Amino acid sequence: MRILLLLIALLSGPALSQGIDSNHAQNNFMLHCQGCHKADGSGLPGSVPSMKNFVSKFLSVPEGREFLIRVPGSANSSLSDKDLAELLNWMLMELSTEGLPDDFTLYTEVEVRQERARVLVDVAAFRATLVAQMKLP
């Protein structure tokens, strides 16, 4: 059984993590995001929502994928478009594998550049409409 799990990890790992330097992404998360989101993505109850096995659910609702780029913590960070794309990919695969759609495609630098420029005005209201559309257990 263990060997089977190891094989699965070896086979799926490289395909999923294509183009992502996990150490680089994790360092950026520590420097730019962890202060609010915590190292494990659990956030601060009452003020910063938990990312753990939750943030991937945004990918299944319309405009949710873009929201993860446009949310102020992402969009207003000093990270380059390329580094932010890498970080978001790492975040989803590291902190929120549960709920990650099977057809998830990696964020790209170009996508981040385009969506980041679309400023979100009322973040809380926008987020609430997305969460309301999620199929929560």
**Residue ranges in contact with ligand HEC by CB under 6 A:** 32-33, 35-37, 47-49, 55, 68, 71-74, 77, 79, 87, 123-124, 127
Q: Which residue is nearest to ligand HEC (CB)?
A: 73
Q: Which is nearer to ligand HEC, 19 or 72 (CB)?
A: 72
Q: Shortest Cβ distance from residue 111 to ligand HEC (Å)?
A: 14
Alpha carbon separation from 77 to 28, 52, 71, 80, 97 (Å, rounded): 10, 21, 10, 8, 24
Calculate Rg over the CA atoms of the chain: 15
CA angle 38, 123, 69 (to 5 degrees): 65
Q: Which is nearer to ligand HEC, 7 or 128 (CB)?
A: 128
Q: Which is nearer to ligand HEC, 19 or 35 (CB)?
A: 35
